[in-house]
Amino acid sequence: MISRIRNRTGLPECVTLIRAAFQTVAETFRLTPENCPTHAAFITEETLRRSFDAGVEMYLLRDQGRPEGFVAIERSPKEVGTYYVEKLAVHPNFRHRGYGRALMEFAVRRVQDLGGRRVSVAMIDENTRVRAWYAGQGFVTTGVKVFPRLPFRVCFMELSVTPGER
């Protein structure tokens, strides 16, 4: 069951899940709090609270009461009709059960309900497995960018959710 986080009391549980889910990525790409402090593997409750207070919608996927997945949806402040899907996370103990796909399908429906036309995601460009997973969901690469503060290139992908364009 996917449910919205309605108040700050749900944030500590989200932080724990996000950190666990992204720790495997941090290990694979040798990310540390020193070389990549903004990576989701090192997220703090304060960081998540700032996003929550700014209106980012956050959702937890639970199975038998356990938090097993997370996704955040944020409206682009610059691009009308574009929404960012962020921190899509499935706890490592519960992967390969379709939870990631369920969270993404939920996020796409939510963006459509909000009147959005595009869903945008960003990831480590070298993470070819994740890029292929998003491509399998219909996302297309729109660009790759180098940010001096990050120890990797960032790949941007989009999915059109306008009826007739998918």
Q: Which amino acid is at 20?
A: A
* Closest-CA residue to 9 (of 47, 52, 57): 52
* Closest-CA residue to 80 (of 35, 120, 131): 120
pLDDT confidence tier of residue 68, bands split at 50, 70 and 90: very high
For residue 53, is it left (φ>0), alpha (ψ between -120 and 50) or beta?
alpha
pTM of the prediction? 0.90
Domain ranges within the chain, ordered by starting residue: 2-116
- Is the domain 2-116 a CATH 3.30.565.10 member? no
| DSSP state, residue 70 | E
At residue 58, the 3 state secondary structure works out as strand
| DSSP state, residue 73 | E
Residue pLDDT, tens place only, 151-163: 999 999 999 998 6
Residue pLDDT, tens place only, 89-131: 999 998 888 899 999 999 999 999 999 999 999 999 999 999 9
Rounded Cα distance, 100 and 70, in Å: 9
Tell me which of 43-57, 59-73, 151-165 is least confident: 151-165
Q: Can you read off the two tokens belonging to residue 92?
A: 């490592």
110 phi, psi to nearest 5 deg: -65, -40
